[in-house]
Structure 1
Amino acid sequence: MAELVGPRLYSCCNCRNHVSLHDDVVSKAFQGRHGRAFLFSHAMNIVVGPKEDRNLTTGLHTVADISCADCQEVLGWKYERAYEVSQKYKGRKVHI
């Protein structure tokens, strides 16, 4: 992820396609496959892949990988369901 034209817009690190607004950031305290990640309430210009259950550091979740709609770069995943009560807030949010 890269910030584009100031802190108001986030874009694909590969092609600069706009994928989220700064106002949609829920948390910056997440860890992704390759380092720091953000949790967004909404994302745009993405393609959502098939759902699958994954055992993540915070427990079992049903997630779907998300990719840039323009270049197909995998950006992260969308939480479809959290099984742990303490993780329910992640439901339907995007992890990039």
Structure 2
Amino acid sequence: MADSTGQRLYSCFKCGNQVCCHDDIVSKNFQASHGRAFLLSHAMNIVEGPKENRNLITGLHVVSDIYCVDCLENLGWKYDRAYEESEKYKEGKVVLEKFKIVKHNWQ
């Protein structure tokens, strides 16, 4: 992992593994099945599950579930493909459910 000194980070709520940087948040206005979620440009220390078609609030997408690399807790999903032109901006981005991540070493 790259040096993360001074960065505001989030960790997996279950094991404390660092999974994303605050600066990588694209939007805080996403909705997941259990509440609010963040759209991120990328995440770290995660593994992806298999790609699958999933009907979400904004339509049909190809997504992969995202898991913490240490404890394998499901943290959200990655948009692999959007079928609607207006949703293409999500491709390659990650959604993490807010209740599944915690602030890590914020001053």
Structure-1-length-normalised TM-score: 0.91
Q: Which has the larger radius of gyration?
A: 2
CA distance in 1, matches of 2:10, 2:55: 27
2:50 is the alignment partner of 1:50 = yes
Q: How many residues align?
A: 91
CA distance in 2, matches of 1:35, 1:15: 21
Gaps of 5+ in 2: 1-5, 97-107
Task: Mark the CA change 1:29 to 1:7 in structure 2 (over 3 Å): closer, same or farther.
Answer: farther
| One-letter identity of the residue aligned with 1:20 | C
CA distance in 2, matches of 1:30, 1:16: 23
CA distance in 2, matches of 1:77, 1:49: 9
Structure 1 residue aligned with 2:79:
79
Structure 2 residue aligned with 1:3:
none
Identity rate, percent: 69
2:69 is the alignment partner of 1:66 = no
Structure-2-length-normalised TM-score: 0.82
Structure with greater contact order relative to length (CA < 8 Å, sep ≥ 6): 2
